């Protein structure tokens, strides 16, 4: 019952809207193109009237052509922008990914099937580093640094540094 009432009301409004559009069209045409009065005009006056009408038609056709060109350009631009949007968005909706905890053995088993027999221990392949090795590499100087600075100061120290650098090269 309610649905049929809504459909009837929509039909009435649609008919009323069509009548209003027709009235607006008639008013616009009456304003823009008044009825022609051709009775009692001579042949020369009719020809002038035809020339004026042709000039007006040419102006209207130019405007129509310009507007159609703009509409086609805008449609083409909208189409290109829609293609760009689709390309940027991608074709498929990406699903939300969930974290799954899988061990390396399970991954290898799923990839290799029955071929996988060796368990993979990633920590076994790591190189072990001992702290003692790194400490031994650094030479420990027990000497007083002041003696070394005094010995290298002045021209004598520079000569020693030059001789020391020159010596291993020979």
pLDDT value for 108: 75
Which comes out higher in pLDDT, residue 136 or 100?
100
Which tens digits make up the pLDDT trace of 147-163? Answer: 666 666 666 666 666 67
Q: Determine the angle formed by the axes of helices 145-152 and 154-169, rounding to 10 degrees.
A: 90
Which comes out higher in pLDDT, residue 64 or 104?
64
Residue 169 has pLDDT above 60, yes or no: no
Residue by residue, DSSP assigns 68-122 as HHHHHHHHHHHHHHHHHHHHHH-SSPPPPP------HHHHHHHHHGGG--S---G
SS3 content of the chain, % helix, strand, coil (to 5): 75, 0, 25
Question: Alpha-carbon distance 92 to 6, whole Å?
Answer: 39
pLDDT value for 19: 97
Which of 68-72, 121-125, 137-141 has the highest mean predicted lDDT (pLDDT)? 68-72
Which residue has tokens 């221990």? 121
Which tens digits make up the pLDDT trace of 138-151? Answer: 555 555 666 666 66
Assigned token pair, 83: 């293609």
Which tens digits make up the pLDDT trace of 24-63? Answer: 999 998 888 878 888 888 889 999 989 999 999 999 999 9
pLDDT value for 156: 64
pLDDT value for 144: 61
pLDDT value for 101: 79
- 158 contacts 166 by C-beta, under 8 angstroms: no
Reduced to 3 states (helix: H, G, I; strand: E, B; else coil), residue 141 is coil
Question: Alpha-carbon distance 93 to 149, whole Å?
Answer: 72
Residue 2 has pLDDT above 70, yes or no: yes
């Amino acid at each position: 019952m309610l649905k049929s009432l809504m459909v009837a009301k929509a039909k009435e409004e649609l008919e009323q809207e069509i009548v209003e559009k027709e009235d607006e069209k008639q008013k616009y045409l009456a304003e823009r193109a008044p009825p022609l009065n051709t009775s009692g005009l001579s042949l020369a006056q009719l020809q002038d009237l035809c020339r004026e009408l042709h000039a007006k038609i040419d102006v209207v056709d130019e405007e129509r052509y310009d507007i159609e060109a703009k509409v086609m350009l805008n449609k083409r631009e909208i189409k290109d922008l829609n293609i760009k949007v689709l390309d940027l968005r991608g074709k498929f909706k990406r699903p939300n990914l969930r974290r799954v905890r899988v061990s390396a053995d399970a991954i290898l088993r799923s990839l290799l099937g029955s071929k996988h027999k060796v368990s993979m221990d990633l920590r076994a392949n790591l190189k072990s580093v001992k702290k003692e090795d790194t400490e031994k590499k650094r030479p420990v100087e027990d000497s007083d640094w002041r003696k070394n600075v005094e010995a290298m100061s002045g021209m004598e120290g520079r000569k020693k540094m030059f001789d020391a650098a020159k010596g291993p090269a020979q």
